[in-house]
Amino acid sequence: MDTANRTTAWASQDAEEVLAALDTDPRKGLTSEEAEIRLEKYGENSLIEEEKESFLEELEEEATEPMILLLIFVGVLYSVLGTLLDAATIFSIIIVLVLVEVYNEYRADQGVKSLKELSSPTSNVIRGGELIEISSAKIVPGDILVLSIGERISADARLLKAYGLQLDESSLTGESLPVMKDAEVVMPASAQLTDLTNMVLAGTLIAQGEGVAVVTSTGKSTELGRVQELTEEAEEPPTPLQDAMKQLSETLVWIAIFFSVLIPVLGYLRGQPLQTMILTGLSLSFAVIPEELPIVITMVLAVGTYALSKKNALVKRLRASETLGSVTVIATDKTGTLTESSMKLGHVFSNHELTLPSVSPAVQKLVTMAVLATRAQMTMEYERLKGSNPMGAALANSAKDVGLAVSDLAEYVLVDEFSFDNKTKMASYVYAKEDKRTIYSSGAPEAVLERSSKTLLGDREVSFTSSELAKVTEAATQIASGGERILAVAYRTLDKDEEREAYVRNLTFAGMVSFSDPARPEVPGVIAECRAAGIRVIMLTGDHPETAKAIATQVGIPDDEGPLTGAQVSSLDDDHLKEALKTVSVFARITPEHKLRIVRLLRQTGEVVAVTGDGVNDAPALKEAAIGIAMGVKGTDAAKEAADMILTDDNFVSIAGAVREGRKIFDNLRKGIRYYLSVKVALILIFLLPILLAVPLPFAPIQIILLEMFMDLAASSGFVAEGMEPDIMKRPPRDPKEKVLNRHTLTGIFVGALCLFAAVSLCYLLTYYRTGNLVYAQTAAFATWVLTHVFLAFNTRSEREPLVRQGLLSNRIMTLWGLIAIIMLLLVTAVPFLQIQLKTTYLEVSDWLLVVVASFAATFWIEASKLIRKHV
């Protein structure tokens, strides 16, 4: 039997059966000896932490990757056959690559630790007939818990007694308001987690009242422990880019090995020196093997992540930056994400008329009575009570909006009270003013009406008629359909000699007030923008279906099919639920398992799912999703640690900005990869042609190392600073099944490669055949490579927008890189020391002119084609 079923099983038994099953005494509790035996049997009341890999273990794992081992082998051979300076350069790059990868992998998930810290450090229990305070870790099944306001529940327990007990379960179930508990009720075996009013669950907070309960489950057997297990089991899916890059890297390794062997063999057969060919082959393998590709991706995503942080989106895992651009579904919770997570006065029903709050005598009178009937004036006086009495806080805060000063109610002196309980469904307070005592009651409409014999119309108290009762019922139904919580208010002036037991009888019904957790006003516009961008938004909440439906309507989430409840989700098999997910966008009364299941099924249907949330109950789904987005202000630690991204302002609006930025990141990342691979292909082509023509190779081995170390990585990372394409939020999400190296991208790679190949080969062969000087010709080839490299980068900054419209210097990072590259080129061809080290020499003015013209002609035709397309 799983944890959820065990919890329901306890809830479906009466208290005596539970006590008998746990073999404990409700008055004396367990003995110390029995508690020790059970502690040995069940273990400590704590959550088990995941094992973490040490830094050295992560380092060993990354350093033994096949590609890294191959690079190390290249470095070792180069140190034997080449120079120590060349070998040191190679090993420096390998070390940087490994450390970057270790840093990314070492950021282990802290979700389990956060869940563990939700347990209260100490709890009050009855042991051996005495009330004692013990470490929560020492609690065992059968312990009798004594509960009081402000405490966090330390274990799952069946209530034995409850006095006005209300629990904040929002972090575990998603219920936005405190839940009233009842020790007397026995739940049906089919009850859902959100309906278990006779149970208190680990990790939830006592908002009001007190009680006594017997512990039924501890540690990982609790509902909180079950959420932990779901979080541990949830797998972080690889992103489309990660899958594509893995396949690409595997392919390029074999291509690199093939050409790194082929070119030296062909060169040696055509009469080239053996040692030179070996060093050339090693240099080519170092240059063509895509060991820098993970660094290019990491750098581009890291800079994009910084840009996201400026838009209130803190990215914890770099993969989130890429995934944002591919999101097709955003599955969001309600409380605190779409809503403000604060109760506000919604409607008032006074004089048998349903209106919005306003400054009028009738509304002021009703709100005054409601404040007294909920003791809301105390909420204003004591800040600590705001969390435990959200309706009172909402009334106190709204009083001034209807022209009522709560401070004026100081003349009402509280002399007696009747705490809220599940039998009467009411709370009542007796106040003395001058020589009169008046009782003010509040509660569920049906409970208040049952005890009311009169109703207030204007200043008159009149007997209830069937037509007036129908108006009240109709108004209550109308309010409830809008997802608001209703509070009915009644009063009666007490006789001096009246018995206390008779206070809550023959009341005068004064009216009703309602409360809502309103939607954030900016959310509808964001959801509309998401829909325009081809992104579907669905709501997953543990709240009441009518509340969920009302908020969905307010923010623009379509709910034509009506909310689907957790019980209905459980009744559907995977195939039918997949079908429902195509049309249903609102889900209510759902549990962590439901959320996790929905996310998994959406993934199975090919959707790229982003899940937003702030509670413990959201952690498994946040981890399972392609990207988990947690709320930074009100979110629990467990949600934050399970998520890939945190919204620092708890604002759903930030998601649209993040998606926009994510799409830009992917666009620029694809440009960078296309450019990076163009260079790799060009390098192979540049070496093949001289071998076929039986002439020396155009680059010395050390020049290949320099180009690889400085040019490709620096230029590719510059693409992240590129601005957005004009139509970036008018396109549908990228198809997750679409390959990064699609036909369009492959065409771009080979076009760019041919540009480089043509320019370098032309300048090298013309110079070599004209002068017969190998060093001079290699210098010309080196200079052509650098300039064409820079020009190609600038011409491929945008796929459709001409450079003249973008602004030649608008990308500051790429502009700086281009200047540095040109300065480097001038230095290595002019400084004698660098000429010796890098095997270069001076170039004549005529040859510089050849280099510049060839580099420009080979690349700027791309800009000309963009301009032509713009005017066609």
DSSP state of 409: G
SS3 for 780?
helix
Instruction: Supply the DSSP symbol for 564.
Output: E
Contacts of 156 (CB under 8 A, 6+ apart): 7, 10, 199, 200, 201, 202, 215, 216, 217, 218, 221, 222, 223
d(CA 395, CA 405): 11
CA 585 distance to own-chain centroid: 19
User: CA nearest 77: which of 86, 67, 64?
Assistant: 86
Greatest pairwise CA separation for the chain in angstroms: 124
| 333 given a catalytic annotation | yes
SS3 readout for 489-531: EEEEECCCCCCHHHCCCCEEEEEEEEEECCECCCHHHHHHHHH
Q: In whole angstroms, what is the distance from residue 564 CA to residue 559 CA? A: 10
CB 811 within 8 A of CB 722: yes
d(CA 716, CA 726): 22
252-282 in b/e form (b: 16+ CB < 10 A) is bbeebeebbebbbebbbeeebeeebbbbbbb
In whole angstroms, give the CA distance from residue 274 to residue 286: 18
- Direct distance between the N- and C-terminal alpha carbons of the chain, in angstroms, rounded to an integer: 69
Tally of CA atoms within 13 A in the half-sphere of 343 that contains its CB: 25
> What three-state secondary structure class fits 292?
coil
**CA 506, CA 491: separation in Å to the nearest integer?**
9
Name residue, tokens 């009850």: 191
Annotated catalytic residue, options 333, 421, 559, 847: 333
Decide: 490 and 461 in contact? Cβ < 8 Å: no
Compute the Cα dihedral for 82, 87, 89, 91 and give only its sign.
positive
- Distance, CA of 699 to CA of 704 (rounded, Å): 6
* C-alpha 599: how far from chain center: 13
701: left (phi over 0), alpha (psi -120 to 50) or beta: alpha
Residue 171 structure tokens: 């972090």
List helix spans (H) across 400-483. Answer: 445-450, 466-481
Strand, coil or helix: 135: strand
Residue 330 CA to residue 323 CA, distance in Å, equals 12
Nearest to residue 793, comparing CAs of 711, 849, 703? 711
Nearest Cα neighbor of 592 from 613, 562, 577, 563 is: 613
In angstroms, rounded to a whole number, what is the distance separating the alpha carbons of residues 333 and 614? 8
Q: Answer whether 343's CB lies under 8 Å from 262's CB.
A: no
- Tokens (6 digits) for 338: 């779409």
Residue 440 in tokens: 């003010």
Instruction: State how far the Cα of 187 lies from the Cα of 13, in Å rounded to an integer.
Output: 7
Q: Where are the alpha helices (DSSP H) in 693-831?
A: 701-707, 713-718, 743-771, 774-795, 803-806, 812-830
One-character DSSP codes across 693-712: TT---SS-HHHHHHHIIIII
**DSSP-derived secondary structure for 85-99:** HHHHHHHHHHHHHHH
Which structure tokens are listed for 761? 């080969």
Dihedral over Cα of 12, 17, 20, 24: its sign: positive
Active site residues: 333
